[in-house]
Amino acid sequence: MRIGIVCYPTFGGSGVLATELGKALAQKGHHVHFITYQQPVRLNGFVPNIYYHEVQVPPYPLFDYPPYETALASTLVDVIKNNQLQLLHVHYAIPHAAAAYMAKKILETDGISIPVITTLHGTDITLVGRDKTYAPVVAFSINQSDAITAVSQNLCEETYRTFTIKKQIEVIHNFVDVKRFSRKPIDAFKKVIAPDGERILLHASNFRKIKRVQDVVKIFYKVNQKLPSKLLFVGDGPERATAEDLCRKLGTCDHIRFVGKQEQMEDILAIADLFLLTSEYESFGLAALEAMAAGVPVVSTNAGGLPEVIVQGITGYMSNVGDIDSMSNQALDILKDDETLQQFKMAAAEHAKNFDIHRIVPLYEKLYEQLLGN
Binding site for ligand GMT (CB under 6 A): 12-15, 17, 92, 121-123, 151, 174, 206, 208, 210, 281-286
Task: Work out the number of other CB atoms within 10 angstroms of the CB of residue 1.
Answer: 16
CA atoms within 13 A on the CB side of 312: 8
Least distance (Å) from ligand GMT to the CB of residue 158? 9
Is the CB of 126 or the CB of 224 nearer to ligand GMT?
126
Is the CB of 221 or the CB of 284 nearer to ligand GMT?
284
| Rg (the chain; Cα; Å) | 21
CA 71 to chain CA centroid, nearest Å = 25
Is the CB of 279 or the CB of 330 nearer to ligand GMT?
279
Whole-angstrom Cα distance, residue 49 to residue 80? 15
Is the CB of 26 or the CB of 303 nearer to ligand GMT?
303
Q: Which of 74, 72, 119 is nearest to 93 (CA)?
A: 119
Is the CB of 34 or the CB of 221 nearer to ligand GMT?
34
Q: What is the DSSP string of 120-165?
A: E-SHHHHTSTTSTTTHHHHHHHHHHSSEEEESSHHHHHHHHHHS--
Is the CB of 42 or the CB of 199 nearer to ligand GMT?
42
- The values of phi and psi at residue 160, to 5°, are -65, -35
Least distance (Å) from ligand GMT to the CB of residue 207? 9
Whole-angstrom Cα distance, residue 268 to residue 281? 24
Least distance (Å) from ligand GMT to the CB of residue 268? 18
Residue 374 DSSP label: -
Least distance (Å) from ligand GMT to the CB of residue 274? 19
Least distance (Å) from ligand GMT to the CB of residue 12? 3
Is the CB of 154 or the CB of 319 nearer to ligand GMT?
154
Q: Which of 1, 53, 51, 7 is nearest to 28 (CA)?
A: 1
Least distance (Å) from ligand GMT to the CB of residue 187? 31
Q: Are 35 and 5 in contact (CB under 8 A)?
A: yes
Is the CB of 273 or the CB of 282 nearer to ligand GMT?
282
Which own/partner contact pairs does 71-75 have at CB distance under 8 Å and 24+ positions apart? 72/6, 72/35, 72/37, 72/96, 72/99, 73/99, 73/100, 73/102, 73/103, 73/106, 74/103, 75/35
Type of residue numbered 110: D
